[in-house]
């Protein structure tokens, strides 16, 4: 594991576990709601790295894939598409109170998402690609990537960010945090950690990871 906080307490190791090689080196970026993983991915994009948003693709699939739509309605026990598109608030009310249904919805959608990613990444010209995903380890997709980054932030900062961004109540945000994998588990599973609190600079952290990946690609080739 590498701690990439953007501060002077950065530590590296050459003993990273090698994962199965892919034709295009891929980095997964994940983190809990409000952690700032999208902000981190924007900096990778500035560096010329192609970024794939698994969450955006998942939303598109849930809106347009007729077989997925049929299964979601079956799991929900009612039609969630009466307006012509998915009623995400209604789905959220169902799945965040029922982990079993949440798991079934994820198992429907995310294999399709990863198939899209596999095709997409080979079309990119950047030396490596990034997959941004809220649930990376939970779906098993992390095992199909070369490296993983977890973005973490203090819980209170995360709560405030989501309240401002999504207009949810404090209780709703806390409920969503509790339904996600905790940071301690993500950290144990990750190759890199980026600290994204108000007191941390994420640009140097992203640069350190970027430079190491370019070095690893050079050595692999």
pTM (two decimals): 0.86
Report the CATH architecture of 2-55+111-220: 3-Layer(aba) Sandwich (3.40)
Q: What is the pLDDT of residues 76-131, one digit of tens each?
A: 999 999 998 999 989 988 987 788 999 899 999 999 999 999 999 999 999 999 99
Quick one: residue 119, left, alpha or beta (phi over 0 = left, psi -120 to 50 = alpha)?
Answer: alpha
Rg (CA), the chain: 18
Q: What is the pLDDT of residues 19-52, one digit of tens each?
A: 444 479 999 999 999 999 999 999 999 999 999 9
Tell me, what's the pLDDT at 99? 84
């Amino acid at each position: 594991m590498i701690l990439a906080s953007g501060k002077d307490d950065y530590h590296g190791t050459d003993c990273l576990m090698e994962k199965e090689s892919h034709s295009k080196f891929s980095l997964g970026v994940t983190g809990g709601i409000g952690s700032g993983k999208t902000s981190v991915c924007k900096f990778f994009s500035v560096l010329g790295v192609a970024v794939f948003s698994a969450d955006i693709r998942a939303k598109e699939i849930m809106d347009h894939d007729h077989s997925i739509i049929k299964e979601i309605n079956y799991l929900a026990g009612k039609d969630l598409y009466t307006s012509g598109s998915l009623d995400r608030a209604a789905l959220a009310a169902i799945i965040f109170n029922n982990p079993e249904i949440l798991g079934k919805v994820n198992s429907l959608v995310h294999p399709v998402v990863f198939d899209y990613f596999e095709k997409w990444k080979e079309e990119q010209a950047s030396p490596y690609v990034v997959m941004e995903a809220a649930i990376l380890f939970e779906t098993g997709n992390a095992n199909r990537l070369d490296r993983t980054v977890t973005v973490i932030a203090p819980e209170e900062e995360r709560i405030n960010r989501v309240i401002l961004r999504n207009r949810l109540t404090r209780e709703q945000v806390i409920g969503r945090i509790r339904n996600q994998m905790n940071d301690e588990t993500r950290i144990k599973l990750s190759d890199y950690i980026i600290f994204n609190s108000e007191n941390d600079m994420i640009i140097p952290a992203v640069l350190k990871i970027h430079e190491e990946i370019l070095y690893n690609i050079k050595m692999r080739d």
